[in-house]
Amino acid sequence: MIDTLYAKLDAAYPEMVEIRRHLHMNPEPSFQETQTAQFIRDYYEKLGVDVKHNIGGNGVVATIQGAKPGKTVALRADFDALPIQDQKEGVSYRSTVDGVMHACGHDGHTATLLVLGKTLYTMREELAGTYILIHQHAEELVPGGAKSMIEAGVLEGVDAIFGTHLWSTTPFGRIDTRVGPIMAAADSFQLKIQGRGGHGASPHETIDAVVVGSQIVSTLQSLVSRRVDPLESAVLSIGSFVAQNPFNIIADQAVLSGTVRSFKEDVRSLMETEMERVIKGTSLANNSRYEFNFKRGYPAVINHEKETLYIKSIAETVPGVTEVFDCPPQMGGEDFAYYLEEIPGAFFFTGAMPDGDVFPHHHPKFDFKEEAMLVAAKTLGTAAIHFHQ
């Protein structure tokens, strides 16, 4: 049966590439993916697959029922794009939408699951159990699409869930995963400092928001090194510091924003508490005022042990997989975390490093090796089929 799966996927690979390139040329940003959702729905309906749409927003869910009794396994792919201008050179499938592109591989995730779904459907008389194919919208933008789709019931009756991310900086043929935390909780914050502006020649008559902000930035950098247990992980990055004044005017206001990444809830809470303590103390010392908004994003992606070890053992048997690597945790965030909070499952990275220049995810020249979609489809398909045995 598995050999049949591989042969059918190999034969359908050109279609996989065609779908991926079509989606790449027609990207839609998070929460605006109406045409992409319609494309997915149409694909399944033409096959005769049971498909539901507008799940938790723009989500689409297809269900394939095997002829034999068995468990229920879910596979998930996301399909939103990013507000980035495509700057790839020398390819025929650049984005045709100004300021929007698939810079994270979600077009590849969608093409992978669509063709895998089609293949499983043609094999349904041989299969056991139920296969839930979750096509999720809005992974890139908090609050994301996973939570609303879960609230709409996509995990009801599901025994386990698996998902993968094509990874452009990991060598082609390698599967990366690990038991426990694999991706970080991704939080954001904004800080508005209110001082008192004035002439650059008379600083003693002002409360300089730039100076206050600079002190806060400097002190915040000590939180990870001096407040977080050195055996734990955390990142605090200031991404923006804005005080738009001419050179000879002292700013009355500054706005800072950034991100905090962590793996454990106690570290996450500690960072939020300690940040406010530093901000409050520094503001008090400088007689300034502040508004601090810490926004919790996706929780950490925590892989379940049994399902992760299962994926590792499955991947070792898949044609095209050259190595199964126990990877370190990534500081990037993923709302796949919400699925794993509800049911057992595992998330893994499929190596998709392209030939030639390599650009990271969310880069305007991002691309990936398309053959990685075939490796991902075979790995997910093998995991889904063997899950019933």
Contact 189, 237 (CB under 8 A): no
Look up 266 and say whether it is catalytic.
no
- For the question of residue 274 being annotated catalytic, the response is no
Backbone angles phi, psi at 61, to 5 degrees: -130, 125
Left, alpha or beta for 69 (phi > 0: left; psi -120 to 50: alpha)?
beta
User: How far is Cα 334 from Cα 338, in angstroms, rounded to an integer?
Assistant: 9
Containing H/E element for 89? none
- Reading the block at residue 132, the tokens are 């839930």
CB half-sphere exposure, 294, CA atoms < 13 A: 15
User: Residue 261 corresponds to which tokens in the numbers above?
Assistant: 């990444």
The secondary structure element, H or E, covering residue 258 is: strand 253-262
Catalytic residue among 80, 140, 252, 367: 80
Given 33, 86, 107, 139, the catalytic residue: 139
What's the DSSP call for residue 56?
Answer: T
Q: Helices 371-386 and 2-25: crossing angle, nearest 10°?
A: 130
Report yes or no: 72 and 132 within 8 Å, Cβ to Cβ: yes
**What is residue 49's DSSP assignment?**
-
- Catalytic sites, residue numbers: 80, 139
